[in-house]
């Protein structure tokens, strides 16, 4: 049996692994599944069709699986899916998806969601991400792996954040942030490369130098974007980190932050 405090309210149809812990006054709804070793603190509400993996820690007053803040939502049976080894801090809100956005809001593995941050409907948050205190993702945002968002930042709906990007505190992000970049300001602009983050993630000096050169071609050469991409393919294509950057730029629909 899961270790459930006697004041918690667990719907009989909820599925909790026997190693789950649930603190005082928490409420867990009928469509919730919680995996091995996850700890749910006091005063947490988990509702909707929410699936939570193993070894997560959910702190007090978090609210997971609530209806989207989208006026088009009409009660569809959509989902919130959370992976393994995440930390979800105080007053975090994570909402289920919408039928028009694919039906799933998703958080990967090993991500830290700090206090008061918000992940809206149909967002996809990758592995190893960090979202700072009071920051918010509007609907349909995609965060690739190992993105860091500092405190009090906001990301416009349908925006993509490339892997290993760093968003400075208070930034207002309205267009796609390319992989490996640092962005700041209102409205956010690129201010350099996330070199420290790349080093901490184990990128070699050769890889970082290639990424620096790729960013110089794309964002500092003053070439039109298609010409810059052609030059980038000619000079640096064939390296995984460069190929991912090229693919990200090619798939941009909102436009790139420059």
For the annotated catalytic residues, the residue numbers are 121-122, 139
Measured CA to CA in angstroms, residue 36 lies from 15, 197, 200 at distances of 11, 31, 30
CB-based contact 105:80 (threshold 8 Å): yes
d(CA 72, CA 98) in angstroms, rounded, equals 8
3-state secondary structure (DSSP) of residue 88: strand
3-state secondary structure (DSSP) of residue 91: coil
Helices (H), the chain: 195-200, 205-219, 225-236, 240-250
Both structure tokens of 54: 């193993």
CB-based contact 98:79 (threshold 8 Å): no
DSSP label of 161: E
């Amino acid at each position: 049996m899961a270790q459930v405090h006697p004041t918690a309210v667990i719907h009989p149809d909820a599925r909790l692994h026997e190693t789950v812990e649930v603190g005082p006054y928490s409420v867990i709804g009928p469509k919730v599944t919680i995996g091995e070793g996850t700890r749910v603190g006091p005063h947490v509400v988990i509702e909707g069709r929410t699936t939570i993996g193993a070894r997560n820690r959910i702190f007090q007053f978090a609210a997971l699986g609530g209806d989207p803040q989208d006026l088009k939502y009409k009660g569809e049976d959509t989902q919130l899916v959370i992976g393994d080894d995440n930390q979800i801090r105080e007053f975090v809100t994570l909402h289920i998806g919408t039928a028009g956005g694919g039906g799933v809001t998703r958080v990967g593995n090993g991500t830290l969601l700090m206090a008061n941050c918000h992940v809206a409907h149909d967002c996809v948050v990758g592995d190893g991400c960090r979202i700072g205190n009071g920051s918010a993702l509007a609907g349909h945002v995609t965060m690739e792996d190992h993105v860091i968002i500092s405190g009090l930042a906001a990301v416009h709906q349908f925006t993509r954040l490339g892997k290993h990007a760093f968003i400075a505190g208070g930034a207002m992000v309205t267009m796609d942030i390319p992989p490996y970049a640092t962005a700041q300001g209102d409205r956010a602009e690129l201010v350099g490369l996330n070199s420290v983050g790349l080093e901490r993630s184990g990128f070699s000096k050769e890889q970082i130098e290639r990424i620096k050169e790729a960013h110089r071609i794309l964002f500092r050469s003053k070439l039109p974007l298609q010409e810059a991409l052609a030059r980038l393919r000619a000079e640096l294509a064939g390296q995984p980190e460069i190929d991912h950057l090229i693919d990200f730029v090619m798939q941009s629909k909102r436009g790139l932050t420059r």
